[in-house]
Amino acid sequence: MPAIVLVGAQWGDEGKGKATDLMGSDVDYVVKFNGGNNAGHTIVIEKDGKREKYALHLLPSGILTPTCTPIIGNGVVVDLAVLFEELDGLEARGVDTSRLLVSANAHIIAPYNRVLDKVTERFLGSRKIGTTGRGIGPTYADKMARNGIRVQDLFDEKILRQKVEAALAYKNQILAKIYNRRAVEVDEVMDELLGYAERLRPMVADTSLVLEQALNEGKTVLLEAGQATLLDVDHGTYPFVTSSNATAGGACTGSGIPPTRVSTVIAILKAYSTRVGEGPFPTELNDANGEFLRKTGAEFGTTTGRPRRCGWVDTVVGRYATRINGVTDFVVTKLDVLTGLDTIPICVAYDVDGVRHDEMPVNQTDFHHAKPIYEDLPGWWEDISTCRTFEELPANAQAYVLRLEELIGARVSAIGVGPGRDEIISRHSLLGA
């Protein structure tokens, strides 16, 4: 089987974790290819008749499937303390994590980058990005500036010391002189990083080679994005984005799998929109409807606990996600959350200072000024969480999905009707033809 890419179509938290987990038993490898512990994927599993909830930040969602090998790809930034905390937490709950592989080329979130993320945000004041404060931006900045520390550096103490010294010579100036913070000692960083080396060693691999061999043997590889299309550093609402490529292209650079191996691109689209952090959001609702979506959808961040900003679905964004990612299949999640509304508006285009835009405006300023043009669809009141076929859905819910499908320009292959593993309607296989 070729490789399958799974991305978020909007601003994150679309339900990527649930979708990955759902495919888990049909997939041999799940690769996280971008981001770090800024992600928060919630997975709800039925175990011995009880619902069990898992929140994963750094680990690929495939870790919960016993037959699946989870991989942290080269495009990820790894906070080692979080990695081991998460592994210990899962082991304590009886999850076997021994199959995990970590790319030797993945970058490490050094302690000074966590500090810098937080102080930079504070310094920006009202111009802040609203980051998760996990050190993601400064670590990717180091990677591009060629100042970064990679997983493999942990196994060459001399090289590691040289790199930490070089980084701190510069970072300490910034910490002390601009932000008035305590300088960080080289030995402090060395001790922290080296303290993880031996536990990490057996997990480290040439993951691109492992994946090539797996694909040659006919195995199925799922490349799972953190964040989403509009948070992508190139294609998102810059500068209100994360610092990695969360779109389908990033799946190749972040894993070492070439584009010619990818046959299917699945995008996860929430049936409405949410955003955490700052930045433009045309369909945002600051009214009772927004509150309804936040409450009914339990829209509070998995990582930071922040209330998510909520709004109606935006098919200009959906179409853009189809274009940027080459989406073959959509999974529409949380359709159940829309139950009980008289009418459900779908944003079909924008009005920017009197001019209609059917596609994402090329200028960020226009996007900030975009007023949604809505098409109102009739709602439904029936509980849909027990529906398992498309035909079982109320006619108005079917019509909503079909109109979305038409507007976003790719087929809707599955529909989420609840957080549980089985609360899904499958229309087409997600494994490609």
Binding site partner of 132, from ligand GDP, ligand IMO, Mg ion, none, Cβ cut-off 5-8 A by kind:
ligand IMO
Residue 416 touching ligand GDP (CB under 6 A) = yes
Q: Which of 314, 341, 419, 425 binds ligand GDP (CB under 6 A)?
A: 419
Q: Which two tokens stand for residue 138?
A: 């400064």
Q: Of 24, 40, 75, 418, which lies in the binding site for ligand IMO, with binding defined by CB under 6 A?
A: 40
- Distances 181 to 165, 189, 350, 407 between C-alpha atoms, Å: 18, 16, 45, 51
The torsion defined by the Cα of 61, 203, 215 and 31, in degrees rounded to 10, comes to 30
- State the catalytic residues: 13, 41
Q: Which does 38 bind (CB under 5 to 8 A by kind): Mg ion, ligand GDP, ligand IMO, none?
A: ligand IMO
Among 13, 86, 224, 232, binds Mg ion (CB under 5 A): 13
Query: What is the Cα–Cα distance from 416 to 433, expressed in whole angstroms?
Result: 22
Question: CB count, 10 Å around CB of 146?
Answer: 7
From 243, 255, 283, 413, residue interacting with ligand IMO (rule: CB under 6 A) = 243
Are the C-beta atoms of 146 and 164 separated by less than 8 Å?
no
User: Is residue 17 a contact residue for ligand GDP (CB under 6 A)?
Assistant: yes
Q: Could you say whether residue 7 binds ligand IMO (CB under 6 A)?
A: no
Residue nearest to ligand IMO as judged by C-beta position: 277
Q: Hey, which residues between 296 and 315 contact ligand GDP (CB under 6 A)?
A: 302
Q: What is the DSSP letter of 184?
A: P
Give the C-alpha separation, 363 to 360, whole Å.
Answer: 9
Q: Which long-range contacts (CB under 8 A, 24 or more apart) does 241-246 make?
A: 241/129, 241/279, 242/35, 242/38, 242/131, 242/136, 242/137, 243/136, 243/137, 243/139, 243/140, 243/141, 244/34, 244/35, 244/75, 244/77, 244/136, 244/140, 245/34, 245/75, 246/7, 246/8, 246/34, 246/35
Q: Which of 28, 153, 314, 336 binds ligand GDP (CB under 6 A)?
A: 336
Query: Does 417 help bind ligand GDP (rule: CB under 6 A)?
Result: yes
- Given candidates 5, 11, 18, 102, which one binds ligand GDP under the rule CB under 6 A? 18
Q: From the list ligand GDP, ligand IMO, Mg ion, none, which binds 130 (C-beta under 5 to 8 Å, kind-based)?
A: ligand IMO
How many other C-beta atoms lie within 10 A of the C-beta of residue 94? 7
Q: Would you tell me which residues interact with ligand GDP (CB under 6 A)?
A: 8, 12-18, 39-42, 44, 302, 333-334, 336-337, 416-419
Binding positions for Mg ion, rule: CB under 5 A:
13, 40, 302
Binding stretches for ligand IMO (CB under 6 A): 8, 11-13, 38-41, 129-132, 134, 136-137, 226-228, 231, 242-243, 276-277
